[in-house]
Amino acid sequence: MYTLDDFQNGLVLLVDKPLEWTSFQVVNKIHWLIRKQYDIKKIKVGHTGTLDPLATGLLLICTGKKTKQIQELMGADKTYTGTICLGATTASYDLETEVIPHTNPSSLTEQQLKIASKQFLGHIQQKPPIFSAIKQKGKRLYEHARAGEQVNIPSREVIVYEFEITKINLPEVAFRIRCGKGTYIRSIANDFGEVLGVGGYLNSLCRTAIGNHNLVDSMSIDTFERNLKASS
């Protein structure tokens, strides 16, 4: 259970982000619930790393004085599980945009898939997706994309510690990835398909850990709301 002092002194809440919610919507909901519960006008609330709307999983929400640790927590390693669909591509590298068939992947072998995955280990150069929240020329990249504007996206260095193929059921390939700050799993899915010569996009994604914080210890927004109401 919670007290207002808890939130003001600072908490790190482990929240399981629902599908199709933005990280910003989760923060707004938590913020509103706290303000409503204690009838206060101001309380600092922020998250430590965005998850795409089509992704689920662990979101760390900091309140009060703990918001000072957001930058530190954003730098923590992150672990994801999900599936890549091979044989097609999308402009957004996930299911946000239209699926465009590429090349039949049915002849690919387990060995080929595992060899390809090794190319993404260590320090790698990666281009963020055009449908991302990175700012360029004063606008988010996805705003340029939706306006049909061409922009040059520079590649940047990211680090991937682990890329494990956990299940193969072509055209789908299940994976587990542990990586550093700023890594786009959508870009890995796209580039993985490119390396294999068949195309690929991210079909599903779940963040299972941020540093030492794990999804199994998280709560739903509904659970947080119930616990908050029970605190009165």
DSSP string, 31-66: HHHHHHHHT-S---EEESS---TT-EEEEEEEEGGG
- Indicate the average pLDDT of the chain: 91
Least Cα distance to 73 among 49, 46, 45, 44 occurs for 49
Across 130-150, average pLDDT: 54
Residue 144's pLDDT is 45
Greater confidence, 91 or 116? 116
Q: What is the pTM for the complete model shown?
A: 0.91
Distance between CA atoms of residues 109 and 168, nearest Å: 9
Across 87-105, average pLDDT: 95
Indicate which residues carry an active-site annotation. 52
The pLDDT tens digits for 188-216 are 999 999 999 999 999 999 999 999 999 99
Banded model confidence at residue 162, pLDDT cuts 50, 70, 90: very high
